[in-house]
């Protein structure tokens, strides 16, 4: 029946004007919307074929009107929806990408990987977004797309998505504030964000008071440390991590292999607390080392704690938000780790844990 209808449509519209084609499309759309809730799968497939046939030869305004009307239907023809979603004209694709619940995640990911920033922005405004979709949006999208995605309460963000957003926030206070306001941001990424924001604050204050740059640096560092310790004390995740680590240590079951296992499992809080407990290192220094961008800091902590290179390599991967380091990066970091003497690393840690003298007023 579908082939017969297609042939009749093609014959009837072969010499028809654009206006007549648009009118035909409107009438068929009216018919579909009127009965869509009662149509069977075969009926929807039939209309799908008719729509796809007609949209090939109508002007943008007609395609736009069709997109607007089909976007709100939960039972819309899937193939024509896909055609509309991949239309180069955002006026056509936008309504479907932003509102249609009949568009699946696979199609959204494919669209986000290949279409314009306007298409990505429309996707970012959907009522709900899966992590597979937001991963593409925050990787490929421009600033407007990133902001729209992170401000969407219905968007789910993965850990790798947060890693990318935190990295993008380094010179963007507005984006940093939006990322940091997400309730599900992990402590590791929140502290990385805080660390970056602290540097931005320091630079701004130094520009205003260049004659007091040393004082500004000390004050900002102390404030950041206080915020860090206060947040850790109030963190339920850290309370659970400390309880686990103390229990393992009390029963003699805490060893270097456990630190590596925590790191490989992506357990930031357990890794930080285990290093502090097993190696006798200050917790705040361990945690700050794990969220800083400087590789040598975490290597110094690992060396001071007497950890081996394989464990240090697991720590670097965890801090970098990756499953594993590349062979090239691992080789460079191992060479640096081997050059650091344990006594020197312990001296650095001892210096960092000393209370800072008060600045003269």
Question: Does residue 222 sit within a domain?
Answer: no
Structural domain range at position 72: 1-88
Highest-confidence range of 18-32, 55-69, 167-181, 298-312, by mean pLDDT? 298-312
Question: Does residue 162 sit within a domain?
Answer: yes
How much is the pLDDT for 269?
87
- Give the integer Cα–Cα distance in Å for 259 and 251: 16
Domain final residue, candidates 44, 63, 88: 88
Confidence label for 1 from pLDDT (cuts 50, 70 and 90): very low
How much is the pLDDT for 210?
66
For the ranges 233-237, 295-299, 331-335, the lowest mean pLDDT is seen at 233-237
What are the C-alpha distances in Å from 15 to residues 109, 161, 231?
A: 38, 52, 72
Rounded mean pLDDT of the chain?
Answer: 80
Same domain, 242 and 346: yes
How much is the pLDDT for 258?
92
Mean pLDDT of 179-200: 76
Domain final residue, candidates 185, 218, 250: 185
How much is the pLDDT for 348?
85
- DSSP 8-state class, residue 36: G
| pLDDT beyond 90 at 72 | no
How much is the pLDDT for 14?
53
Highest-confidence range of 50-54, 64-68, 117-121, 304-308, by mean pLDDT? 117-121
Classified as helix, coil or strand, 67 is helix
How much is the pLDDT for 271?
92
Same domain, 47 and 133: no
Mean pLDDT of 45-58: 76
Question: Does residue 281 sit within a domain?
Answer: yes
Domain final residue, candidates 161, 185, 209: 185
Same domain, 348 and 262: yes
Same domain, 11 and 69: yes
Mean pLDDT of 54-61: 80
Question: Does residue 213 sit within a domain?
Answer: no
Mean pLDDT of 59-78: 87
Confidence label for 143 from pLDDT (cuts 50, 70 and 90): very high
- Give the integer Cα–Cα distance in Å for 98 and 257: 48
9: its two tokens: 């449509």
Confidence label for 357 from pLDDT (cuts 50, 70 and 90): very low
Q: What is the distance, to the nearest Å, from the Cα of residue 124 to the centroid of all Cα atoms in its chain?
A: 12
Q: What is the distance, to the nearest Å, from the Cα of residue 220 to the centroid of all Cα atoms in its chain?
A: 28
335: its two tokens: 């060479």
| pLDDT beyond 60 at 317 | yes
For the ranges 43-57, 130-144, 298-312, the lowest mean pLDDT is seen at 43-57
Question: Does residue 322 sit within a domain?
Answer: yes
Same domain, 244 and 310: yes
Confidence label for 356 from pLDDT (cuts 50, 70 and 90): very low
- Give the integer Cα–Cα distance in Å for 359 and 352: 17
Question: Does residue 227 sit within a domain?
Answer: no
Q: What is the pTM of this model?
A: 0.64
Same domain, 242 and 337: yes
Strand partners, 155: 129
Same domain, 122 and 75: no
pLDDT above 70: percentage of residues in the chain: 77
Confidence label for 321 from pLDDT (cuts 50, 70 and 90): confident
Question: What would the pLDDT profile of 96-138 be if each residue is shown by its tens digit?
Answer: 999 999 899 999 999 999 999 999 999 999 999 999 999 999 9
Question: Does residue 192 sit within a domain?
Answer: no
| pLDDT beyond 70 at 10 | no
Same domain, 3 and 58: yes
Same domain, 63 and 26: yes
| pLDDT beyond 90 at 287 | no
For the ranges 65-69, 144-148, 208-212, 276-280, the lowest mean pLDDT is seen at 208-212
What are the C-alpha distances in Å from 215 to residues 159, 206, 356, 361?
A: 36, 9, 11, 10
Overall domain count for the chain: 3
How much is the pLDDT for 288?
79
Same domain, 48 and 122: no
Same domain, 256 and 345: yes
Mean pLDDT of 50-57: 75
Same domain, 76 and 118: no
- Give the integer Cα–Cα distance in Å for 112 and 246: 46
Question: Does residue 197 sit within a domain?
Answer: no
| Selected residue with higher pLDDT from 167 and 52 | 167
């Amino acid at each position: 029946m579908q082939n017969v209808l297609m042939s009749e449509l093609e014959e009837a519209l072969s010499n028809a004007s654009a206006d007549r084609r648009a009118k035909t499309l409107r009438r068929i759309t009216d018919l579909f919307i009127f009965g869509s809730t009662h149509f069977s799968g075969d009926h929807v497939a039939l209309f799908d074929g008719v729509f796809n046939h007609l949209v090939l030869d109508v002007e943008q305004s007609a395609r736009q009107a069709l997109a607007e009307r089909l976007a709100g239907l939960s039972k819309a023809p899937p193939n024509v929806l896909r055609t509309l979603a991949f239309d180069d004209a955002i006026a056509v694709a936008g309504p479907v990408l932003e509102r249609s619940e009949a568009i699946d995640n696979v199609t959204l990911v494919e669209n986000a990987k290949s279409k314009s920033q306007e298409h990505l922005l429309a996707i970012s405004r959907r009522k709900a977004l899966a992590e597979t979709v937001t991963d593409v949006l925050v990787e490929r999208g421009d600033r407007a797309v990133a902001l729209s995605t992170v401000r969407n309460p219905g968007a789910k963000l993965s850990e790798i998505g947060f890693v990318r957003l935190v990295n993008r926030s380094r010179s963007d206070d507005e984006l940093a504030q939006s990322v940091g306001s997400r309730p599900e941001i992990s402590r590791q990424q929140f502290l990385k964000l805080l660390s970056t924001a602290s540097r931005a604050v320091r630079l701004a204050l130094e520009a205003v008071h260049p004659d007091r740059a040393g004082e500004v640096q000390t004050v900002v560092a102390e404030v950041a440390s206080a915020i860090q310790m206060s947040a850790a004390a109030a963190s339920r995740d850290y309370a659970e991590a400390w309880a686990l680590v103390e229990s393992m240590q009390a029963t003699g079951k805490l060893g270097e292999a456990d630190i590596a296992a925590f790191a490989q499992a992506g357990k930031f809080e357990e890794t930080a607390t285990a290093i502090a407990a097993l190696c006798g290192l200050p917790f705040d220094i361990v945690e700050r080392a794990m969220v800083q961008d400087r590789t040598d800091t975490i290597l110094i902590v690992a060396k001071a704690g007497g950890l081996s290179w394989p464990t240090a390599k697991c720590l670097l991967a965890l801090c970098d938000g990756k499953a594993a380091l590349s062979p090239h990066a691992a080789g460079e970091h191992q060479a640096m780790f081997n050059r650091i003497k344990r006594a020197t690393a312990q001296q650095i840690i001892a210096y960092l844990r000393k209370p800072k003298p008060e600045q003269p007023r």
